[in-house]
Amino acid sequence: MAPRRETERSARRSAGVSKESLLLVEEMYSFFGAYKEWIRSRLPPGETNPTRLLVLVSLKRWGAVTMGTLAARLGRPKSNVTLLVDELEKDGLVVRRAHPTDRRATYVELTAAGRRAATEDAAPYDREIARLFEALEASERTRFLETLRRLGAFMSANVGASRDEGGAGKGGRR
């Protein structure tokens, strides 16, 4: 390992981060790259962007939401969501409508064709992606799900926590 990289790791460890947590970060970087390729390889025929499908499925689940809410819930920049909604609107899958009380806000909602696409394309796509988790034993899937939920709750509780606090606010360990 390069001396500089080891020095950086040592500095982070001394700031209250365990060696195992740093290894998890490295594995997550590798995993996310591979996962992104996995989900792209399982897209329905003719679809090229998994986020388009995510927008459709999300709108089916949540109903009409403002563009800002959609961007926040998806964890995507507003400008990216605007471009996706532009594409989906052009394809007749979503429509925009004015917010009834806030002139600055715009709702986005599925059209009938969008609801069909969210239903017909999403279920087979989700099954294809879920095949990844079949590589785990049932007990491993259960533990993984519990771990993801716990990490999700920790992140939700600590959004906005300062880095000086280590993000170990409510529910966190130091």
CA distance 123 to 92: 20
CATH of domain 21-158: 1.10.10.10
The whole-angstrom separation of Cα 52 and Cα 108 is 14
Burial zone of 76 (CB within 10 Å; 0-12 exposed, 13-18 middle, 19+ buried)? middle
- Position 80 scores a pLDDT of 93
> What's the confidence (pLDDT) of residue 90?
97
Residue 15's Cβ-side half-sphere holds a number of Cα atoms within 13 Å equal to 14
pLDDT at 56: 92
The whole-angstrom distance between residue 124's C-alpha and the CA centroid of its chain comes to: 19
Annotated domain spans of the chain = 21-158
User: Of residues 9 and 24, which shows the higher confidence score?
Assistant: 24
**Rounded mean pLDDT, 126-152:** 93
107, pLDDT greater than 80 = yes
- Is the pLDDT confidence value at 26 over 80? yes
pLDDT at 167 over 80: no
DSSP state of 134: G
CA 13 vs CA 7, 23, 53, 174: distances in Å: 10, 11, 39, 12
Strand stretches in the chain, DSSP E: 65-66, 94-98, 106-110
Using 50, 70 and 90 to split pLDDT, how confident is the model at 165?
Answer: low
Whether 117 contacts 93, CB under 8 Å: yes
Mean pLDDT (whole number) for 30-34: 91
How high is the mean pLDDT of the chain?
85
d(CA 72, CA 67): 9
Q: Which is nearest to 159 in space by CA: 30, 72, 51, 78?
A: 72
Length of the chain: 174
Query: Does 40 score more than 90 pLDDT?
Result: no
Answer whether residue 163 shows pLDDT above 90. no
pLDDT higher than 60, residue 173: no
**Band of the pLDDT at 120, cuts 50, 70, 90?**
confident
Nearest to 39 by CA among 131, 117, 144: 131
Taking alpha carbons only, the member of 161, 163, 109, 99 closest to residue 171 is: 161
